[in-house]
C-alpha cells in the first residue's frame, strides 16, 4: 500500500485536550485485526509504513469526545480514522471511517464525493475541499457528542452530521485505519423497510410532478401562439436523450465545484458558496427526482396534448354560453376527458419511477450512504455485487407486485371516468 501517514492525535472529553500520544512510543495504543508491524514511532510521530498490520486503536474507550489529528499524506496516499467502531468483527465494515487520502491523485480521480478526505466514508461527503496538497501537514478535528458528528479540516467545518439521519452510522471506539485496499462500502443496513420507503419518497414526488407539469405544459401547447410547432418539436428533446446521458448532463449541473446550478444560485445571490447537492442525503434524493422529471415530462405532455386535441370545441363553447369560468371548464370538461389518458400516463410514470436505475447509477450510486438506494438499486446490488440471486430475485418480485398493485388502483379509479355518451 502506498501510504506513509504521520499522525499526532489528541482527544478530549472536557474542554482541554489530553495527549493520546507521548511522542516516544505506542504506549496506550494497540493493534486490532493484525500484528501492528506497520506502525512505528519516528521523530516524534506515528508512522504507517504500509502493509497489512491492522488498525491502530486506543486502549481506552471514549463516549463523547473530540479528537485532533495532524497528518501528512504522501502522493497517492490512502488512510483514515475510524471512530465508534466495535473491537469485535470487521472494523472497516462495522465502523465509521473518516477518510484521509490524496484527493488529487490520479488513482482517486473517479471516486464519489462521499469518498474524499474528511468524508464519513460512504455516508456523508465534505461540504468543501479543504485539504492541502500531498506532502503538506493537515489538521483534522473530529467531534462526537451524542448523535452529532462534526469534522473540521484545516480550520474549515466540512461535515456536520446527525447519526439519526444516517442509519449506517454505528457506535464504538475510534481507530486509525491501515488497509491494503480501499475500505468497501459494507456498512450494515438497519431495516429492510428503508428501501421501500426510499422508493416511495422518490416515486411519489416524481409521478406527481410529471403529471401536474405535464397537464400544464399540454394546456400551454394546446393554445395558439407564434412558433407553437417549433416549441412542440423541441419539447421532445429531453425525452429523446438516453437516461445515462441525461444523468451525465445533470451530474455536471449539480457539480459541487463547477456546476451550473451552483453558479446560477451564487450569481443571483441565493447562496454565498457552492453546495454539494449530490453529497447531502436530502438534496441527493431531490436531485434525482429533478433529473428524472426533466427526462420524462415530455412523454406525459405529448400524450395529454393529443388527448386535449380530441376534446370537442362545442363543449367549451356551450360552457362559456352558460357562464362557466375557465376553472369550471377545466374541472368539468377538460379533466373528465383526460381521465383515461391520465390513466395511461400514471401507469407509465409509476412504472418508470419505481424501476429507475440509470440516473441513480450515474449520479449517486445509491449514496450518500443508502440515502438514494431504492428497491431497484438494491436489487442490482444484491444480484450483481453481492451475488445473492435469491434475495435479488425477491426484491425484483417485490417491485413487480408493487407496480401491479398501483396499476390496479389506477384502473379502478379512472378507467370509466372518461366515457361519454354520443
User: Do 113 and 204 fall within a single domain?
Assistant: no
Considering the domain architecture, whether residues 266 and 224 belong to the same structural domain is answered as yes
Do 171 and 201 have their domain in common? no
Does residue 187 sit within a domain? no
**Residue 169 clears pLDDT 70, i.e. is over it:** no
Structural domain of 58:
6-177
pLDDT in the model for residue 32: 72
Please state whether the predicted TM-score (pTM) of the whole model is above 0.75. Answer: no
Q: Are residues 21 and 121 in the same domain?
A: yes
Among the residue ranges 13-22, 279-288, 312-321, 408-417, the one predicted with the least confidence is 13-22
> Can you give the pLDDT at residue 19?
77
The full DSSP string for 310-356 is TS-HHHHHHHHHTT--HHHHIIIIIHHHHHHHHHHHHHHHHHHHHT-
Question: Do residue 167 and residue 252 come from a single domain?
Answer: no
Asked whether residue 311 falls in the same domain as residue 221, the answer is yes
Give mean pLDDT, residues 122-137: 85
Q: What is the CATH number of the domain that holds 164?
A: 2.60.120.560
What pLDDT is attached to residue 95?
Answer: 64
Domain count, the chain: 2
- Over residues 52-63, the mean pLDDT reads 72
Asked whether residue 182 is assigned to any structural domain, the reply reads no
> Any idea what the CATH number is for the domain that residue 199 is in?
1.10.3720.10
Q: What is the pLDDT of residues 89-108, one digit of tens each?
A: 555 555 678 888 888 888 87
Same domain flag for 42 and 100 = yes
SS3 290: helix
Average pLDDT of 175-192?
A: 38
For residue 7, what are the β-bridge partners? 46, 71
pLDDT score, position 295: 95
Give the least confident one: 86-90, 208-212, 254-258, 342-346.
86-90
The answer on pLDDT for 226 being more than 50 is: yes
pLDDT value at residue 70: 84
- Please compute the mean of the pLDDT values over residues 142-164 and round it to a whole number: 85
Q: Torsion angle, CA of 185/188/189/191, rounded to 10 degrees?
A: 170
Of the three residues 116, 149, 177, the one that is the final residue of a domain is 177
Do 285 and 339 lie in a common domain? yes
The stretch 146-165 carries a mean pLDDT of 84
Residue at 188 is within a domain: no
What is the DSSP pairing of strand 45-48 with strand 6-12? antiparallel
Query: What number is the average pLDDT over the span 392-409?
Result: 90
Rounded average pLDDT over 354-375? 87
Cα(35)–Cα(27) distance, integer angstroms: 15
Determine what percent of the chain is predicted with pLDDT higher than 70. 82
pLDDT averaged over the chain?
A: 80
Angle between helix 228-235 and 194-222 (nearest 10): 160
Cα–Cα distance between 114 and 365 in angstroms, integer? Answer: 11
Model confidence pLDDT, tens digit, residues 337-363: 998 899 899 999 999 999 999 999 999
Q: Is 271's pLDDT higher than 90?
A: no
For residue 303, pLDDT over 80 is answered with yes
72-86, 244-258, 315-329, 341-355 — which is least confidently predicted? 72-86
Amino acid at each position: 500500500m502506498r501510504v506513509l501517514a504521520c499522525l499526532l492525535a489528541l482527544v478530549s472529553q472536557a474542554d482541554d485536550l489530553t495527549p493520546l500520544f507521548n511522542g516516544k512510543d505506542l504506549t496506550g495504543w494497540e493493534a486490532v485485526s493484525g500484528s501492528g508491524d506497520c506502525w512505528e514511532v519516528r521523530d516524534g510521530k506515528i508512522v504507517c509504513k504500509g502493509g497489512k498490520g491492522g488498525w491502530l486503536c486506543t486502549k481506552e474507550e471514549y463516549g463523547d469526545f473530540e479528537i485532533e489529528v495532524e497528518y501528512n499524506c504522501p502522493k497517492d496516499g490512502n488512510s483514515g480514522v475510524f471512530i465508534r467502531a466495535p473491537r469485535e468483527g470487521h472494523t472497516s465494515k462495522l465502523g465509521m471511517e473518516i477518510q484521509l487520502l490524496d484527493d488529487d491523485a490520479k488513482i482517486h480521480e473517479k471516486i464519489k464525493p462521499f469518498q474524499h478526505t474528511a468524508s464519513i466514508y460512504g455516508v456523508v461527503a465534505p461540504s468543501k475541499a479543504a485539504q492541502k496538497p500531498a506532502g503538506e501537514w493537515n489538521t483534522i478535528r473530529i467531534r462526537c457528542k451524542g448523535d452529532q458528528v462534526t469534522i473540521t479540516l484545516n480550520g474549515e467545518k466540512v461535515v456536520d452530521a446527525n447519526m439519526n439521519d444516517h442509519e449506517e452510522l454505528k457506535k464504538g471506539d475510534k481507530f486509525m485505519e491501515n488497509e491494503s485496499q480501499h475500505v468497501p462500502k459494507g456498512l450494515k443496513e438497519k431495516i429492510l423497510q428503508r428501501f421501500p420507503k426510499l422508493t416511495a419518497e422518490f416515486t411519489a414526488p416524481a409521478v406527481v410532478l410529471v403529471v401536474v407539469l405535464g397537464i400544464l405544459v399540454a394546456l400551454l401547447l394546446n393554445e395558439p401562439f407564434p412558433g407553437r410547432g417549433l416549441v412542440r418539436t423541441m419539447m421532445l428533446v429531453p425525452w429523446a436523450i438516453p437516461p445515462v446521458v441525461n444523468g451525465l448532463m445533470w451530474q455536471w449541473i449539480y457539480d459541487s465545484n463547477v456546476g451550473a446550478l451552483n453558479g446560477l444560485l451564487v450569481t443571483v445571490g441565493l447562496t454565498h458558496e457552492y453546495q454539494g447537492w449530490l453529497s447531502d442525503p436530502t438534496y441527493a434524493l431531490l436531485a434525482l427526482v429533478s433529473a428524472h422529471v426533466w427526462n420524462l415530462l415530455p412523454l406525459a405532455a405529448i400524450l395529454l396534448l393529443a388527448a386535449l386535441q380530441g376534446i370537442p370545441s362545442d363543449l367549451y363553447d356551450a360552457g362559456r354560453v352558460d357562464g362557466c369560468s375557465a376553472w369550471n371548464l377545466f374541472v368539468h370538461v377538460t379533466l373528465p376527458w383526460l381521465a383515461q389518458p391520465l390513466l395511461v400516463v400514471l401507469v407509465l410514470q409509476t412504472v418508470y419511477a419505481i424501476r429507475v436505475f440509470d440516473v441513480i447509477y450515474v449520479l449517486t450510486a445509491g449514496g450518500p450512504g443508502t440515502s438514494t438506494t431504492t428497491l431497484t438499486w438494491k436489487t442490482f446490488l444484491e444480484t450483481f455485487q453481492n451475488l445473492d440471486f435469491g434475495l435479488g430475485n425477491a426484491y425484483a418480485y417485490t417491485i413487480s407486485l408493487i407496480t401491479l398493485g398501483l396499476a390496479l388502483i389506477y384502473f379502478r379509479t379512472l378507467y370509466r371516468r372518461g366515457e361519454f355518451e354520443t
